[in-house]
Amino acid sequence: MRFWGAILLAMVAVPAQAERGTVVVVGGALADDNADVYRAMIKAMPADAPDVVIIPAASGIIGRSVPRAAKAFAAHGVDPARIVTAHIALVDDPDTPDVDESRWNAGGSDPAEIAKIEKAGLIWMLGGDQLRIMAALIKPDGSDTPMLAAIRKRLDKGAVIGGTSAGAAVMGEHMIGCGSPEVALTAPVSRDFKDCDGKAEDARDVPLVLGRGLGFLPGIVFDQHFSQRARLTRLVRAVACIEADAVTGIGIDEDTAFVFDIGHETGIPVGRGTITVVDPSEGHRSCDNAVMENVRFARFPAMKE
């Protein structure tokens, strides 16, 4: 595992940081019985912080997605009494008539919800719509909400920050808001997330939209459901068009995780699929027509924990 981890780390070139926590990025469709991924997350939790906090902000089906996630963590050894939900969301789940989750829209500044984060050993972001996560955790002026500030502090103290699908998309410094792989190489690229409004993330003819992520891993842009939705062209164009001195693209298959231990500067793929890395650090890239020269591509099979 360390051999592969060293190779993957060299490819992604994440800068060393002071944080000692772990970031776990899951490509979506995480099976409840995927013991390797759940074990990797739970094993990385600080011994003195047994709480798992679920952040459902991305989800539109909170009444189903939260209980399923909680049941899966419990099945892999987490005490159910230590699994809590942060009340932070933007949309109501019509299947929960007794609860209006849209009233959780101020959760990012609610002291009671932030207190949950401050005791967390693992903070888990559900799938759905990544733009909802950004809107829930980032203030209109672009600064962190108190909840996001608390999440960063927990990472600094050794906690695990993880997410699946939409929860994976937000983990890097850069983020894909939406975009169809079919037109990713040729259509104009937008830097305004409003261009994703009302559109399925990769519906046919939706142009690529890029912006900032939550930045837990600097210099990285993630793409999820990678092989299953044939998103290589989308990731290549994103890497070509992100306006930064250095950027690396990582595509993560479903039921697969990229587990990055910041303190040990080691990243490994875990689960049942593969991870694809697009590294332009020794080449040239241009957004126009997605021109890329001397770019390294690598595909790593997931390892067993």
pLDDT in tens, 185-222: 999 999 999 999 999 898 889 999 999 999 999 999 99
For 68, the token pair is 């399923």
Query: Which whole-number Å values give the CA distances from 25 to 54, 100, 126, 196, in the listed order?
Result: 15, 29, 11, 22
pLDDT of 6 over the 60 cut? no
Higher-confidence residue: 290 or 170? 170
pLDDT recorded at residue 7: 43
Mean pLDDT of 262-283: 93
Distance (Å, rounded) from C-alpha 13 to C-alpha 296? 13
Q: Which pLDDT band, with edges at 50, 70 and 90, does 18 fall under?
A: very low
Distance (Å, rounded) from C-alpha 128 to C-alpha 56? 9
Choices 3.40.50.880, 2.40.30.10, 3.40.50.150, 3.90.1170.50: CATH for 2-301: 3.40.50.880
The answer to whether residues 135 and 89 touch, using CB atoms and an 8 Å cutoff, is no
pLDDT of 2 over the 80 cut? no
- Mean residue pLDDT across the chain: 93
Higher-confidence residue: 1 or 232? 232
Mean pLDDT of 39-54: 97
Q: Is the dihedral of CA 29, 34, 37, 39 positive or negative?
A: positive
For 135, the token pair is 């809107």
Q: Is the dihedral of CA 222, 152, 101, 96 positive or negative?
A: positive
The answer to whether residues 241 and 210 touch, using CB atoms and an 8 Å cutoff, is yes
pLDDT recorded at residue 8: 53
Provide, rounded to the nearest whole percent, the portion of the chain with pLDDT above 90.
86
Mean pLDDT of 245-252: 96
The answer to whether residues 266 and 5 touch, using CB atoms and an 8 Å cutoff, is yes
pTM of the model: 0.93
Q: Give the residue numbers annotated as catalytic, written as ranges.
A: 165, 225, 254
For 268, the token pair is 């490994």
pLDDT of 1 over the 80 cut? no
Q: Which pLDDT band, with edges at 50, 70 and 90, does 305 fall under?
A: low
Q: Which pLDDT band, with edges at 50, 70 and 90, does 44 fall under?
A: very high
Strand partners of residue 270: 257, 303
Q: Can you give the C-alpha Rg of the chain in angstroms?
A: 18
pLDDT recorded at residue 263: 86
pLDDT of 71 over the 80 cut? yes
For 15, the token pair is 């800068």
